Amino acid sequence: MKYLKRILSVLVVLLIFFFLIRTLVLNWGKIPFGELHFNGWYVGLSYVLLVFYFACYTKSWQEIMRALGYEIKFTQSLWIIATTQIAKYLPGRVWSIVGRVYIGKKERFDSNLLFISMIFETCLLIITSGVLFLYANLFVGVFQMIYLLFGILLTIVALIVIHPRVLSWLVNVLLKILRRKPVTISMSYGQILRVSIFFFALWCTQIIGFYFLIMAIYPVDPSMLPTFMAAYTLSWITGFIILFAPSGLGVREGVMTLLLSPALTTPLAIAVSLITRVWMTLFEIIVFFVGLLVRKITRKEQDMSSADRLD
């Protein structure tokens, strides 16, 4: 049964990409080739913003671990995330978690605490992206009061959900599903709000980087940024929720195409969604090797410190 599910998952992903590529080929003539160009500076700027995104991501986990009682260095947080994040491309949604727990245990962290940190991280990723998606819709097309009301409502719900008592309950529900022991989150409400700022920052830097990536191939007005924000956040949320697709492969591209089509035309939206996948995957591969390098340097510094103490 397990192998059958994997085969079906692969077939669904391949089917999504088949229809995307088929639609792109059939609508090739609708691509505004006269307006297309390539701007290497914008591509470079988009990657600079991804560096800021990853720095915020690294800092967010460092702050989570600190709030849970573990003092870790920024470099330590960086190489652990960098070397385990790539595992999300494996089938299933647990491998990046398993990888971080495995490496964390080798660094002498408590495995239960590592699970808590990652579940907490996941909750904040979903909450902050959801808030940004709803607020982005306020500025897409004609202003509608209903979106403002939903945005305010979600903000209130988010502020309630991240309260330590509520969050402890949610974390324990997830730990029960994972057959782990229940825990109590010792973080204060102020600490959680502080960590949330880093999550909003990592989303904003990604989205602005995404905007410059599009600008590198097609001229778009800055007023379209809310549209790109809505497309980017909702495609990520959908790709994350759909468990059969590793790293939301196929699903994320399909949702992004659907949301960008009114603004960019369908074939261009498909091309952008595929380019975005390559853009982010290439960055994560680079970050993986940087993480290995940082780990090597960190280990060398630790060995030298140990040798100095022995002398």
The answer to whether 256 and 273 have CB atoms below 8 angstroms apart is yes
pLDDT at 252 over 90: no
- Alpha-carbon gap, residue 283 to 55, rounded angstroms: 13
- Alpha-carbon gap, residue 282 to 159, rounded angstroms: 35
pLDDT at 23 over 70: no
Residue 20 is predicted with a pLDDT of: 67
- Alpha-carbon gap, residue 283 to 275, rounded angstroms: 12
Got the DSSP string for 48-81? HHHHHHHHHHHHHHHHHHHHTT----HHHHHHHH
Domain boundaries, the chain: 47-297
Residue 283 is predicted with a pLDDT of: 94
Residue 41 is predicted with a pLDDT of: 93
**Locus of tokens 């989150």:** 185
Of 123 and 210, the one with more pLDDT:
210
Q: CA of 106: how far to CAs of 80, 99, 103, 167, in Å?
A: 11, 11, 5, 27
3-state secondary structure of 163: coil
Amino acid letter, residue 73: K
User: Mean pLDDT lowest for which of 5-14, 58-67, 176-185?
Assistant: 5-14
Of 269 and 206, the one with more pLDDT:
206
Residue 115 is predicted with a pLDDT of: 78
Residue 206 is predicted with a pLDDT of: 95
Most confident of 40-54, 108-122, 181-195, 216-230: 40-54
The answer to whether 228 and 210 have CB atoms below 8 angstroms apart is yes
pTM equals: 0.85
Percentage of residues in the chain having pLDDT higher than 90: 19
pLDDT at 92 over 60: no
The answer to whether 11 and 91 have CB atoms below 8 angstroms apart is no
Most confident of 64-68, 121-125, 132-136, 231-235: 231-235
| Both structure tokens of 181 | 């022991």
The predicted model gives 268-272 an average pLDDT of 88
- What are 173-227's pLDDT values in tens digits? 766 776 767 766 777 788 888 888 999 999 999 999 999 999 999 888 888 888 8
Instruction: Indicate the pLDDT class of residue 232, thresholds 50, 70 and 90.
Output: very high
The answer to whether 254 and 234 have CB atoms below 8 angstroms apart is no
**Locus of tokens 């088949």:** 18
pLDDT at 3 over 80: no
pLDDT at 263 over 90: no
- Alpha-carbon gap, residue 103 to 72, rounded angstroms: 14
Arithmetic mean of pLDDT over the chain: 80
| Both structure tokens of 43 | 């591509």
Residue 200 is predicted with a pLDDT of: 93
Got the DSSP string for 73-118? -HHHHHHHHHHHGGGGGSSSS-HHHHHHHHHHHHTT--HHHHHHHH
